[in-house]
Chains A and B, each alone.
Chain A
Amino acid sequence: MRGLKLPLSQTQRVRLQRAFEKLQSLSAKANSDASVTVADTIPVNYEDAFLKGYGTTDLNGELVATVCGVVERVNKLVYVRALRARYKPEVGDVVVGRVVEVAQKRWRLEINFSQDAVLMLSSMNMPDGIQRRRTALDELNMRSIFEENDIVCAEVRNFQHDGSLQLQARSQKYGKLEKGQLLIIDPYLVRKSKQHFHHLEQFGIDLILGRNGYIWIGEHVEARDSVVIDQAKSIEQSTVVEGINRAYTPLEMRQNICRIANAIRVLTILGFNIDLNLIMETVELSSSLKIDIHDMLGSEFHVLVAEMEAERRSLTTKRKR
């Protein structure tokens, strides 16, 4: 159970164990020989020429895994994909990051990677929407776009020569994120899917699953014509911000945000992959059982979610057959 830090009673422990065993038995048939731990031999046909990839090493003539993970084979390449690893970026990934520095013509973002990512000023749409060369004045006004500690959503553009990432935020859906909360989870739990931006209409909430493990849950913001509000409007808004009149998020929306956040927390503790369907099912389970938002973090709900997921997966495998 990977050392779950939950105070479980005896019956809860038994139920959780059973649910995990059920899940293991469902997935084991697919790739039972594919998962390896350190020092396991990897089953390879030694007569064929093959390339040793990451996570493998040659020990006494045998191919042995050096990390715990899943064996992947691509043509002649054999490598072990580690499970608990730092975020491995790919071009086109949606990531959520926090600005740590405003530097010359760029922002540096922290994205749970070994290095900070760079968002160039030229990779951002300008407030007036015109495609033009960035002038010195634009550079001086960078802070009006993003400041330190702002949360920004962007896309991976390419890798720089030193291995760090370059991001771009040219589309309307990227940009600064406000009015919500950021959750940090392990990056391996967020799989690449077609959609990382989810607009939950029934709640009026935006859910962004960043592939680097940063998840943003916040009030829905309409895609703006320009990513940045233009100068006049921003001055007007900043004075309103200073005043106490700025409205807080309405209570009902806040409850939904908290419920979704707790659902994600429960799923990460149990180690399930985070995707929209699972989150919504967990949220529905909690509201149908009338579980209080804070009680979702209690041990009983964790056991219920594990059982629900085991049920769901056994039903889908039965349907497939």
Chain B
Amino acid sequence: MVGLSVGEKHFIQGGIAQDLRSDGRKRLTYRPIYVETGVIPQAHGSARVRLGATDVIASVKAELGKPSALQPDKGKIAIYVDCSPTAAPMFEGRGGEELSTELSVALQRCLLGGKSGAGAGIDPTSLVVVEGKVCWDLYIDGLVISSDGNLLDALAAAIKAALSNTGIPKVDVAVETRSDEQPEVNISDEEFLQFDTSGIPVIVTLTKVGRHYIVDATSEEESQMSSAVSISVNRKGHICGLTKRGGVGLDPSIILDMISVAKHVSEQLINKLDSEIAAAEASEEES
């Protein structure tokens, strides 16, 4: 990440204060989002999302596995993010690990709900095949190819798009099995079940610079931030998760204000994202 001179920092702060950022955006405007689906043919679902210069890929792979004994009626979902060294030289080797874990944990918190699976954006009960014996394990992987700020929003959008693109193969279970035996399953190659992604939340990250908050910060603007709050909101306007980054403390009233701003912004974002995903799927079918 390149450093900024004092003059440039001042210019950025002034822009945010005057509601005119370096590329002409207002404080609450997102950069144009560009979605492509089906970029990884070997995965069950994949998507690539470009948000300005930020470029991320999400892929979904499903494998048959055994549900955990504590929750026999639920499938398992794992989310993991990797920061590629192509995004920044400091991500080489183990340099990107800290950021990767931070992003993975934030995404898990926002999309997977609590330990019991309550309130998850993705319904794990839809993943079970034979209760207690066979279930689908979903592995959602995110890859950061190019980083220009606002990785969390881009990754959440990519995961949502990838899940829309995911087709879980239909499974035929052999009916006659003894209760203690592993049932035989036949994975169909032809038929696929699409995921219902209307319940999946999006993440809106609000970055506080000076006295104002901005949405979708570039990496230059992020370098000026005092703190950032990432709020995950679903279509109904409910908060699904909240993460705060940055060392500066925030007054609780500011956090409540940020939440209401995020709710307001998320409506437009969800609509925009859905239309982009639909357009991407349509163009993928054409090609």
Using CB atoms and an 8 Å cutoff, list the residues of chain A in contact with chain B.
Answer: 5-7, 98, 147-151, 176-182, 218, 241, 246, 248-249, 251, 254-255, 258-259, 261-262, 265, 292-294, 296-298
Contact = CB atoms under 8 A, between A and B. Distances in A.
Contacts of B23: 258, 261-262, 265, 294, 297
Q: Which DSSP category, helix, strand, loop or mixed, fits chain A's interface? A: mixed
A149 B9 CA distance: 11
B24 A258 contact: yes
19 contacts: A5-B34, A147-B6, A150-B6, A150-B7, A178-B6, A178-B7, A179-B10, A180-B7, A181-B11, A246-B10, A248-B14, A251-B20, A258-B20, A261-B24, A265-B23, A293-B24, A294-B23, A297-B32, A298-B32
B56 to A, nearest CB: 14
Contacts of B21: 258
A298 B2 CA distance: 27
Name the residue among B7, B14, B18, B34 with the largest chain A CB count within 10 angstroms.
Answer: B7
Interface residues of B, number: 28
Interface of B: 2-8, 10-15, 17-18, 20-26, 29, 32, 34, 50, 276, 279
A249 B12 CA distance: 10
A149 B223 CA distance: 13
Contacts, number: 85
Contacts of B279: 7
A98 B220 CA distance: 15
A7 B26 CA distance: 21
Nearest to B13: A248
Given A151-B8, A176-B7, A180-B7, 10 more contacts: A5-B34, A179-B7, A181-B22, A248-B17, A248-B18, A258-B22, A261-B22, A261-B24, A294-B26, A296-B24
Contact of A149 (B3, B10, B29, B50): B3
Contact of A150 (B5, B11, B22, B26): B5
A141 to B, nearest CB: 17
Contacts of B20: 251, 254-255, 258, 293
B205 to A, nearest CB: 19
A248 to B, nearest CB: 3
A148 B9 CA distance: 13
Contact of A181 (B8, B25, B29): B8
Nearest to A179: B7
